[in-house]
Amino acid sequence: MQSKGSRVRWAESLAGVRRRELRAVWALILGTGVLFAAPGSKAANGKWAPQTAPAAQSDFVGGDVCATCHEEVAKGFALNPHSKLAEEHGKSGVTCESCHGPGRAHVESGGDKSRIFRFSDASAREVDEKCLGCHQGQHADFERSAHGDGNVSCVGCHSIHAGAGGEHLLKAAQPTLCYQCHADIRPQFGMAFHHKVDEGLVSCSDCHDPHGTFNVTHLKSTADQNAICTRCHMETRGPFVYEHVAVKAEGCLGCHSPHGSQNARLLNMPGINMLCNQCHSPVAAHAVTGVSQGSEELTPCTSCHTYIHGSNINAAFLR
């Protein structure tokens, strides 16, 4: 039970730790050899071994032994972010067996496939458990996310040995990676007006966290819990002396389509006046003020109501 306790404490200590700090935590652990090295540290082994009984230290043979038969894989692994860490810490870091489990039986049988953890054979949950054994602190919400829940495991997007997406061991770079499964989204970024995702200016993960968030559709949020949009479009954020209630109540999506639109400014409606008139009766509005009603059909409302997201000077957003 000591094993369970240490796993829980470890997960807690990782939760909320940022990446750079995480690195330091790793260094500390690797330095003391608690997690990876010394024989008999069963508690630590339980952390990444399958959630069954922890394996005995003598069941591990070390990465150098794997390399004797899996030369190609081992060669590629030297450049892996998992391996770099091992190199830095006297090869006691993440090794083959941290992920594939103890390899002695596999080795002694001359390479019996059934005697080693194979990701290609494992269920999505089993894969996630392996990876989250170490990455829980970064991606604690994963199993609750649409991806975790939909059995898209870590290796649906990441490949440890054949990452082709450059950064982060991704199977392919964004947005190609995402379109492989979300083909229906692609046409939205091909519309006349769109966020320049295909052009590489904005990426899916600027707005979504594929590992899950507490918001619908995995949307990221800004520090002040506003929609992610205001992180880049600061000028719309406010607070303003005169808020446009629509922006606060409906959010940006009340008037804009986030991916793409046939309408300029990513608007939901083909005309600005049409958009405004969903909520406002222009006749009623301007009967009071005496603004020529004839102009409303031809002149967009925003040619006068310029500060449509809110204003600090004018209650009708004219200035």
Question: Could you tell me which stretch among 2-10, 37-45, 51-59, 231-239 binds ligand HEC (CB under 6 A)?
Answer: 231-239
Shortest distance, CB of residue 186 to ligand HEC, whole angstroms? 7
Answer yes or no whether residue 133 interacts with ligand HEC by CB under 6 A: yes
Q: How far apart are CA 170 and CA 147, in angstroms?
A: 15
**Measured between alpha carbons, how far apart are the two ends of the chain, in Å?**
67
Q: How many residues touch ligand HEC (CB under 6 A)? A: 136
Under rule CB under 6 A, residue 42 binds ligand HEC: no
Paired tokens of 260: 């793409």
124 binds ligand HEC (CB under 6 A): no
Q: How far apart are CA 74 and CA 89, in angstroms?
A: 18
Neighbour count for residue 260 (Cβ, 10 Å): 20
Q: Do residues 128 and 122 make contact, with C-beta atoms less than 8 angstroms apart?
A: no
17 binds ligand HEC (CB under 6 A): no
Q: Is there binding between residue 115 and ligand HEC (CB under 6 A)?
A: no
**62: which residues sit within 8 A by CB, 6+ positions away?**
95, 97
CB of 15 to ligand HEC, least distance (A): 13
Shortest separation between residue 40's beta carbon and ligand HEC, angstroms: 18
- Site residues for ligand HEC, 232-291, by CB under 6 A, read 232-233, 236, 244-247, 250, 252-256, 258-259, 265-267, 272-273, 275-280, 282, 285-286, 288-289, 291
Phi-psi category of 83—alpha, beta or left, where left has phi over 0 and alpha has psi -120 to 50? alpha
Report the nearest approach of ligand HEC to the CB of residue 89 (Å).
10
Residue 223 contacts ligand HEC per CB under 6 A: no
Of 2 and 120, the one with the shorter C-beta distance to ligand HEC is 120
Residue 2 or residue 72: which is nearer to ligand HEC going by CB?
72
Selected binder of ligand HEC within 210, 212, 260, 310 (CB under 6 A): 210
Among positions 137-176, residues that touch ligand HEC (CB under 6 A) are 138-139, 142, 146-147, 150, 152, 154-162, 167-170, 174-175
Total Cβ atoms within 10 A of residue 124: 18
CB 170 within 8 Å of CB 161: no
If binding is defined by CB under 6 A, does position 107 make contact with ligand HEC? Answer: yes
Nearest to 251 by CA among 217, 290, 204, 209: 217
Verify binding: residue 11, ligand HEC, rule CB under 6 A.
no
Length of the chain: 319
Question: How many whole angstroms separate alpha carbon 14 and alpha carbon 174?
Answer: 28
14 scored as a contact of ligand HEC (CB under 6 A): no
Give least dist CB 125 to ligand HEC, A. Answer: 10
In the region spanning residues 65 to 104, those forming contacts with ligand HEC, defined by CB under 6 A, are 65-66, 68-70, 73-74, 77, 81-82, 85, 94, 96-100, 103
The closest alpha carbon to 312, from 237, 212, 210, belongs to 237
| 4 touching ligand HEC, by CB under 6 A | no
Phi-psi region of 266 (alpha: psi -120 to 50; beta: other; left: phi over 0): left
How near is the Cβ of 208 to ligand HEC at its closest, in Å?
A: 4
* Separation between Cα atoms, residue 211 and residue 57, nearest integer Å: 33
Residue 20 identity: R
User: Max alpha carbon distance in the chain (Å)?
Assistant: 92
Provide the mask over 187-206, with x wherever binding to ligand HEC is found by CB under 6 A and - wherever it is not: --x-----xxx---xx-xxx
